[in-house]
Amino acid sequence: MNQFNQSMARSEASILATNKVLKNTYILLAMTLMFSAATAGLSMTMNLPHPGMIITLIGYFGLLWLTTKFRNSSMGIVCVFALTGFMGMTLGPILNMYLNAYSNGHQLIMTALGGTGVIFLGLSAYALTTKKDFSFISGFLMVGILVAFLAGIGAIVFSIPALSLGVSAMFIMLMSGMILYQTSAIIHGGETNYIMATVTLYISLFNLFTSLLHILGAMSGRN
């Protein structure tokens, strides 16, 4: 009986810990999304130019490294906001480009935003309600993201529109899988750090939104 009670206590403690990580992740994710939207809006208002691929990659990977290094301290939260704020600043010029280049730019942005929200909520709800373990797709996601990343660089360097669209379609699928994987990891105790969980979900949403926007823009046609 004593062994049974100890097992029940461990199970309850595990559930409470999982719920805490999940709650903290969603709270921090919501805050970082709002902060990122604010920095994107500031970038748009100031009409800042895009920093370019090299500066964006250096800033992204540098801030991601800092976030990972300080993930177990309060400094990690500062790094998360620095990372998401930076990504918001790089997003502003892209949104301005769509507003200027497309007659229905506002509609494209809102459609991409709505699509991102629907996909995120739908996949998160599915992972939370079914409680399926999606850890088996980790290898596929790792290889897929690496291939898509390299293909994306190739599309930019060699200016291949068809390849660029293909990369966007790949990222939509991969980021959808990443949302399932990360949510599942939190539920099953594979991810116990809400800072890193927030970063993973934020990056998934960022790439999902920009990929949807790219495809919608290609389907719409420029002015």
pLDDT digit string, tens, across residues 96-151:
999 999 999 999 999 999 999 999 999 999 999 999 999 999 999 999 999 999 99
Closest among 129, 123, 110 to 217, alpha carbons compared: 110
Rounded CA separation 208/172 (Å)? 5
How far is it, in rounded angstroms, from Cα 195 to Cα 170? 26
Q: To the nearest whole number, what is the mean pLDDT of the chain?
A: 91
Half-sphere exposure of 104 (CA within 13 A, CB side): 13
pLDDT in the model for residue 159: 87
Report the SS3 class of residue 114: helix
Beta strands in 64-203 (DSSP E): none
Share of the chain above pLDDT 90, in %: 83
Q: In the structure, what pLDDT confidence band is assigned to residue 222 with cuts at 50, 70 and 90?
A: low
Instruction: Look at residue 8 in the predicted model and tell me its pLDDT.
Output: 45
Task: Determine the average pLDDT of the residues in 166-177.
Answer: 96
CA distances to 8, 31, 140, 191 from 143, rounded to whole Å, are 39, 30, 5, 20
User: In this predicted model, what pLDDT tens digit does every residue of 61-72 receive, in sequence order?
Assistant: 999 999 999 999
Give the domain ranges of the chain.
2-220
Asked if 216 and 98 touch (Cβ cutoff 8 Å), the reply is: no
pTM of the model: 0.92
CB 174 within 8 A of CB 123: no
Report d(CA 18, CA 185) in Å as an integer. Answer: 10
